[in-house]
Structure 1
Amino acid sequence: MSSQASTRRSDDSAKVILGWRLRVGWLRFLVIGVWLVFLLVPLYWVAVASIKPQGDLLASPPVWWPDEPTDLHYAEALNKFNGWKGLKNSLIIASVTTVLAVLIGTAAAYSMARFRTGGKHLAFWFLSGRMLPPIAIIIPIFLLYSRYSEEWLGYALIDTRTGLVLLYTVFALPFTVWMMYTYFRQMPPSLEEAALVDGCTRIQALRKIAWPLAAPGVVSAAAFAFIFSWTEFLFAVVLGRDNAVTLPVALAGMATSFQGNLYGEASALTMVSLIPALLLGILLQRHLVRGLTLGAVQG
């Protein structure tokens, strides 16, 4: 009898645990579902608005899917509202900034990790520079670009892609240096020492040993630098006017347009601007999570 009672108690306990796990699972599923709805419905609405005819944009009740989708808004946004120019400038500026930030940041991080350059806390000092709010320095930078750059370089950096690339590189470097520093710190120095014994120079050891092993870190650092440069708005709107207008600035210009209802064009340009960031996030998700984790637990 005692064995049967203990068996029943164990069965009851198992049922209670199973029921609790089911309730927790359903609760988790509900929370994730609500979060996905909150996240994806606005994105869906923007995507649909970009292909709606003009008459469906402000229709009541709202049109959730147009009967006759159109690509007119994409043509208008790209051809009439600096869309192509902003897309070209953003791609060039973000790509060049990414290359410079990765090359300079990787070299600096390797020097800190292997030779203790700057002492123990230099990497954190680099990261602390990212905490500086851009609004606090935009006026001095504007004066520097508009006045002193013309005296020193012979031309002003205002409204140039070069000026934005230099500034974006400076602001992308802190996170790049910190992320690559954590990657180099976790790599055993014995691998590079073995390459040095075999006759490699320090540069060859970095290029043939350290960089391939730190490839996930390089990829994630490049992704963050590209996304930062692609989405940055404050510096671009203050320092860029006509020649160096970027996609976020072109998109913001539609909000102040005097040409009436531009919801369709703004939605179309928004979808265009989202494509690179979404592709990078999807393709490099594993590397991005690993880079953030290393940056959070090591230093």
Structure 2
Amino acid sequence: MKGVPFHRRKETKLVLRYLIAAFLVVIFVFPIYWLFAISFKTPAEIFAFPPVWYPKSIQFNNYAVLFKDGDAKTVGNSLVLASVSTLFAMIFGTIAAYSLVRFKTGGENLAVWIISQRMMPPVAIAFPIFLFYVWLGWVDTYIGLIILYTAFSLPYVIWMMRGYIEEIPLELEESALIDGCNRWEVLWKVVLPMARSGLFATAVFTFVFSWNDFLFALILTRTEVMTYTVQVTHYFGGQSNFWSKIAAMSVLGTIPVFITVATLQRYLVRGISMGAVKG
């Protein structure tokens, strides 16, 4: 390409980058499109060969069946469990992170010990927790799963918020203290507004972690607080699979995450770019 002007070569590279990016987007987005398409297809279209790339007419029967049979309430259960546990984890985790940063609680190594607890595989403690919950009578209850999800989310929240709080200048807090604020007011009026992007970014990931849980929901729920991740597995059978229900339930279980990420997208992008995993 020696005879090609520099600006032409630059434009060619840019076009190639866009083409590669578009190709990758199609690859990653197609499974999502196919999931939504199946949820609106008739059984004949689902099993047709060659494949029917889009439904001939939009069918809402697959969703109607889920609501009629009461299966859709499992999405509501997941929403309650993930939202409440995320709220508690963010409250307690932010307070703990502030204590680690400003008061050096537990010394320099406590934060590392806390995040190491998140590295423990959940299956290693699933059976002891089940026995403990049977003794407490917390199996198939909201309080049991909320406490468990909160406990497992706390190390992640503390570690992330610790990094965000460290980025806040100490002088701002000292000025607020001189003006008459106590520590709680400093946390509420200075620290939280300054770490707002990190706060929302951490909350989104914490919500998704709880939302996608399968192991604990499978072991600790029966009928009352069954989550959608467990409900989907009921549509897989030894003789046949109910693909229309699988697709429709998966779409219902995906929509809350899409809405959450889309709503908090600007905070999410800023929060990730703030270097929250420093230290």
Question: TM class by shorter-chain length?
Answer: over 0.9
Checking the alignment, whether the CA contact within 8 Å between 1:101 and 1:176 is kept in structure 2 is: yes
Of 176, 194, 199, 1:213 maps to 194
**In structure 1, what is the Cα distance between the partners aligned to 2:63 and 2:71?**
12
Q: Deviations over 1:133-175 (max 9, x none)?
A: 111211121122113x2xxxxxx11111111111111111111
Compute the TM-score of the two structures, normalised by the length of structure 2.
Answer: 0.92
Checking the alignment, whether the CA contact within 8 Å between 1:52 and 1:70 is kept in structure 2 is: yes
Q: Secondary structure at the match of 1:256?
A: coil
Query: Are residues 1:113 and 2:113 paired?
Result: no
Of 220, 236, 260, 1:280 maps to 260
The structure number with the bigger radius of gyration is: 1
Alignment correspondent of 1:126: 114
Deviation at 1:294, TM superposition (A): 4.0
Aligned residues: 279
Alignment correspondent of 1:90: 78
Of 114, 134, 138, 1:157 maps to 138
| CA shift in 2, pair 1:21/1:124, >3 Å | farther
Query: Are residues 1:33 and 2:22 paired?
Result: yes
Structure 2 alignment gaps of length 5 or more? none
Aligned alpha-carbon RMSD (Å): 2.1
Alignment correspondent of 1:298: 278
Instruction: Report 1:50-69 matches (<5 A).
Output: 50-69=39-58
Q: Secondary structure at the match of 1:254?
A: coil
Structure 1 alignment gaps of length 5 or more? 1-11, 150-155
Q: Secondary structure at the match of 2:224?
A: coil
Checking the alignment, whether the CA contact within 8 Å between 1:83 and 1:250 is kept in structure 2 is: no
Alignment correspondent of 2:63: 74
Deviation at 1:241, TM superposition (A): 1.1
Deviation at 1:242, TM superposition (A): 0.9
Query: Are residues 1:245 and 2:234 paired?
Result: no
**In structure 2, what is the Cα distance between the partners aligned to 1:66 and 1:125?**
52
Task: Between 118-127 and 191-200, report the one with greater CA deviation.
Answer: 118-127
Checking the alignment, whether the CA contact within 8 Å between 2:82 and 2:210 is kept in structure 1 is: yes
| CA shift in 2, pair 1:66/1:182, >3 Å | same
Alignment correspondent of 1:266: 246
Alignment correspondent of 1:180: 161
Aligned residue type for 1:63: V
Q: Deviations over 1:61-117 (max 9, x none)?
A: 211122222100001123326222x02211111111011001000100011111111
| CA shift in 2, pair 1:128/1:290, >3 Å | farther
Checking the alignment, whether the CA contact within 8 Å between 2:161 and 2:199 is kept in structure 1 is: yes
Deviation at 1:293, TM superposition (A): 4.1
**In structure 1, what is the Cα distance between the partners aligned to 2:3 and 2:111?**
51
**In structure 1, what is the Cα distance between the partners aligned to 2:202 and 2:188?**
17
**In structure 2, what is the Cα distance between the partners aligned to 1:257 and 1:129?**
38
Q: Secondary structure at the match of 1:137?
A: helix
**In structure 1, what is the Cα distance between the partners aligned to 2:237 and 2:53?**
27
**In structure 2, what is the Cα distance between the partners aligned to 1:27 and 1:240?**
51
Of 219, 225, 235, 2:216 maps to 235
**In structure 2, what is the Cα distance between the partners aligned to 1:292 and 1:180?**
12
**In structure 1, what is the Cα distance between the partners aligned to 2:21 and 2:102?**
43
Aligned residue type for 2:72: G
**In structure 2, what is the Cα distance between the partners aligned to 1:177 and 1:240?**
28
